[in-house]
Amino acid sequence: MRVLGVDPGLTRCGIGVVEGTAGRPLTMVAVGVVRTRTETDTPERLVQIERGLEEWLEAHRPEAVAVERVFSQHNVRTVMGTAQASAVAMLCAARRGLPVALHTPSEVKAAVTGSGRAEKAQVGAMVTRLLRLEAPPKPADAADALALAICHIWRAPAHHRLQQAHQTQRAQQAPAAQRLKGMRR
């Protein structure tokens, strides 16, 4: 499985592509950051992020996109920019018919380091180790994007099994509901 991880941000949007399957060694395909200038108007910055993401999607052809779920911070302005960049990532993936998964920061930290309260340095160190890199990717946004992709690869099989179980349960309940509906008439 090839996953594009996106650590959304209006100034720095981390992007990383990881390939592999759960239980096997993973490989970093590419890592980087889409940057925008703070003095540029927000709509133009979002267009720049969209162009950057489209280039990555075209170049690396992922099978899924994992985006950091936006969480509430005290700085509303920062949250808005992060949410807008996140929406652009989801839009780009949806336009290509790619599945999108949202992972919380603590979920990603727990998956990669074993602790949902890990510091950025710990995440970078574990990404370096897991992908057998010589040094942690810089800036931290790039390492976070790789961590998102790793988290998704490791959690995708369990998520898929849960979805299948849910669909099976709904399919089994449908005939019973139809019979019950028929008995009421």
Which residue is catalytic, options 7, 19, 63, 134? 7
68 is annotated as contributing to ligand binding: yes
Selection from 134, 110, 131 nearest residue 122 by Cα: 110
Read off the tokens for 7.
Answer: 């650590």
Is residue 141 annotated as a catalytic residue, yes or no?
A: yes
Count CB-CB contacts under 10 A for residue 43. Answer: 9
144 is annotated as contributing to ligand binding: no
Which residue is catalytic, options 68, 107, 134, 144? 68
134 is annotated as contributing to ligand binding: no
d(C-alpha 91, C-alpha 93), whole Å: 5
Three-class DSSP category at 3: strand
Count CB-CB contacts under 10 A for residue 30. Answer: 14
Is residue 41 annotated as a catalytic residue, yes or no?
A: no
Report the 3 state secondary structure along 56-119. Answer: HHHHHCCCEEEEECCCCCCCHHHHHHHHHHHHHHHHHHHHCCCCEEEECHHHHHHHHHCCCCCC
d(C-alpha 152, C-alpha 93), whole Å: 15
Is residue 7 annotated as a catalytic residue, yes or no?
A: yes
Q: Which residues have a catalytic role annotated?
A: 7, 68, 141
List residues forming the annotated binding site.
7, 68, 141
